[in-house]
Structure 1
Amino acid sequence: MEGASLVVQTSFLGDTVLTTPLIAHLAERGPVDVVVTPASAPLLANNPSVREIHVYDKRGRDRGLVSSLLLSARLRRRRYAAAYLAQGSMRSGALVFGAGVRQRVGFTTSAGRRFYTRRVDYLEGEHHASRLLRLALEPGVEPSAEMLRPRLFPGQAERDKVDAMLRQWGWKGESFVALAPGSVWATKKWPHYAALAALVNARVVIVGSTEDVYLASEILRAVGARAIDCAGRLSLLASAELISRAQVLVSNDSAPLHLASAVGTPTVAIFGPTVPEFGFGPLAPRSVVLGVTTLGCRPCDRHGPQRCPLGHWRCMREITPRHVADVVQALTAPSARLPTSAH
């Protein structure tokens, strides 16, 4: 296809990471520009497949009609050959329609599908990276594992920042396990990270946002100087750089899981109200998903409600720290057999 492509992805951080295989595939054809939120834009820094980033603050300064029209006008001047709607709202569809992009590709299930010139089936049960990549594949073409690998590109600034942060906490080059205890969805936060840290026979490094500082403090109280607290102290790309150095990441169903997929770090992914069949499980080699598979109430929500609808929250409480620690131990000793269930 001649001409540049436009990718629109204004969903969550993890969605942006999982859009990078689509971006890389399109870049084999020609230049690729991306519309993303201010929060997600740093994830695409240094990415050789991205020509230009258009930051769209849809919930902030750009939430009004005038701002959307101005962005459409700016995009129109780029004369894109095709737009790929990785995020499928009416607003995103109207944005590229207003930009005069002749070929507009999105999912059959998207709210903005009336604006599309080509609609692709949204395959439930398939990984979301694969679903997104199919927007640019010919029908019947199956993506390879290499095609589905997310890509992030921490630079020297991120490496230097991580080096300095680790030295600040007295790190001497020993191996460590990364813990990501946070999530924007309350019921996705496994409550036993402090107990897990006490059981892990290694230094632990805590990653997350400023919203996760209180969770980090619980881990610090449990293990003291054996923990390194990076929560709220690193950018997204620097966090990816940090995770790339870990033996294993333990994470909820949240953005750090996808950062680990992009840098190839084995992941213990803890799923409670959601399930990996929604398409957001780990893609890194030697990763393990844990969940209480015997509960009839799982899954209860596409994202994870702020409270358990039944009040018991067994899907998270019944995943024991001992079991997670055993899985971590198995991942750090490759000859061991990996446990795969919550019990």
Structure 2
Amino acid sequence: MAEKTNGAEARFLIIRFSSFGDVTQSLSIPSAIQKAYPNAKIEWITRKDMAPLLKHHPAIDRIWEYDRKSGLKGLWSLLSLMGQNHYTHIYDAHNNLRSRFVYWRLGLFRSTLFIRRSQKRWKRFLLFRLHKNTYEIPFSGQRDLLEPLTPWNISKALPQTPQIFIDEADLSKADTLLGTWKEKKYVALAPSAAYFLKRWPVSHFKQLIQLMPDVNFLLLGGPEDRFIEEIEKIAPDRILNTAGKAPLTVSAALVKKAQVLVSNDTGLLHVGEQLGKPTIALMGPAPFGFPSRTSTKIMELNLSCRPCSKHGQGPCVNKVYHQCLVDITPEQVAAEVRAKLGSLL
């Protein structure tokens, strides 16, 4: 589609409501737009609880916060306010009923250029049902978010890090949480994930810590991740468990202060990526959250059953249950952590 505006007149709206990992990966979009349209205004509509991740991003001019508790009435009121603007470009990076409603209200009956990110349902069917992969390899979550924008002459090449910008107040809260650890060097571990099959075994995290007796470890997670307490017990003198104690942006600050991040396929993995933090990604059954930057070492097994599901919800059909992550050994991960730490010297 031909351009109707020049860079000075362009006003972009990005639609991405959730989730933590997807919003974090999407943070590369404003910088990519800004590079192609240096004088454009860039706005973003997201869920209220995700908005803190976007704050302080230098390429975002305005964040529109949708409180999902307000329901459709609240969204309509917000869109009525937003409707005072004329968006020349709308990118629906979410592609659900709510995001379609946003475009219907703000762009459908106006001279607005519009791109909706495809769900690629046929490709997904081939991948998960027939194990025929027609996706670009290697998988890359960020590339797949940027690629739809190429008709607007926006590059799918990733902008340089950082692409997440942490508030000084959150860095201060992280220091308070660290306490006496503020002066320590540590490796951050993210042992949780939305689905069990995306989690490296708890026993493996324990062995990793035991294999590195000279290293301090900080544990990250949510309030529901009580299993992390089991990992903490393996070496309480050199483990700090922050699970359930830090909101998303403070957890991001803790990742920033770490030397290395070791993470399952979860939102904190993408925080490490967008900070440019040396990161080790433990990738199991799902394909769409794959890291995209050279600062990340991807650890995975080439199994015929992988990938098996969109989100890692399973079921596992391998005769060796959970083999895709079980067979990534603590010794292998420890060696990669040592290599990352060595590169910092």
Taking structure 2 as the reference length, what is the TM-score of the superposition? 0.82
Asked if 1:173 corresponds to 2:183, the answer is yes
The equivalent residue for 1:251 is 263
Asked if 1:288 corresponds to 2:300, the answer is no
- Aligned mate of 2:46, from 32, 36, 51: 36
Deviation at 1:316, TM superposition (A): 1.7
The equivalent residue for 2:141 is 128
- What pairs up with 1:1-343 in 2 under 5 angstroms? 1=6, 2-27=9-34, 28-58=38-68, 60-62=69-71, 64=72, 66-100=73-107, 102-109=112-119, 124-125=136-137, 127-138=140-151, 142-145=155-158, 147=159, 149=161, 151-167=163-179, 170-171=180-181, 173-191=183-201, 192-200=204-212, 201-212=214-225, 214-275=226-287, 278=288, 280-283=290-293, 285=295, 287-293=296-302, 295-305=303-313, 307-310=315-318, 312-334=321-343
Change (3 A) 1:289 1:161: same
- What code does the residue aligned with 1:288 have? K
- Check the 8 A contact 2:56/2:167 in 1, yes or no: yes
- Check the 8 A contact 2:143/2:292 in 1, yes or no: no
**Aligned partner of residue 188 in structure 2, secondary structure:** strand
Deviation at 1:44, TM superposition (A): 0.8
Deviation at 1:280, TM superposition (A): 2.3
**Aligned partner of residue 319 in structure 1, secondary structure:** coil
Change (3 A) 1:88 1:148: farther
Deviation at 1:320, TM superposition (A): 1.6
Which ranges of structure 1 fall in alignment gaps of 5 or more residues?
112-121, 337-343
- Check the 8 A contact 2:33/2:154 in 1, yes or no: no
Taking structure 1 as the reference length, what is the TM-score of the superposition? 0.83
Residues 209-238 of structure 1, C-alpha deviation per residue, up to 9 Å, x if partnerless? 2122x2321121111120011112222222
**Aligned partner of residue 277 in structure 2, secondary structure:** coil
Q: Distance in 2 between matches of 1:131 and 1:150?
A: 19
- Check the 8 A contact 1:205/1:227 in 2, yes or no: yes
Q: Distance in 2 between matches of 1:148 and 1:84?
A: 21
- What code does the residue aligned with 1:261 have? E
Residues 286-315 of structure 1, C-alpha deviation per residue, up to 9 Å, x if partnerless? x2111222x221111121016524571111
- Check the 8 A contact 1:18/1:150 in 2, yes or no: no
The equivalent residue for 1:119 is none
Residues 240-281 of structure 1, C-alpha deviation per residue, up to 9 Å, x if partnerless? 221122121110011111000111111110011124xx4621
The percentage of aligned residue pairs carrying the same residue is 28
**Aligned partner of residue 197 in structure 2, secondary structure:** helix
Q: Distance in 1 between matches of 2:336 and 2:173?
A: 30
Deviation at 1:39, TM superposition (A): 3.0
Q: Mean alpha-carbon deviation: is it higher for 126-135 or for 71-80? A: 126-135
Change (3 A) 1:31 1:12: same
Change (3 A) 1:299 1:37: same
The equivalent residue for 2:131 is none
Q: What RMSD in Å do the two structures reach over aligned CA positions?
A: 2.6
- Check the 8 A contact 2:67/2:74 in 1, yes or no: no
- Check the 8 A contact 1:22/1:132 in 2, yes or no: yes
Change (3 A) 1:177 1:335: closer
Which ranges of structure 2 fall in alignment gaps of 5 or more residues?
1-5, 122-133
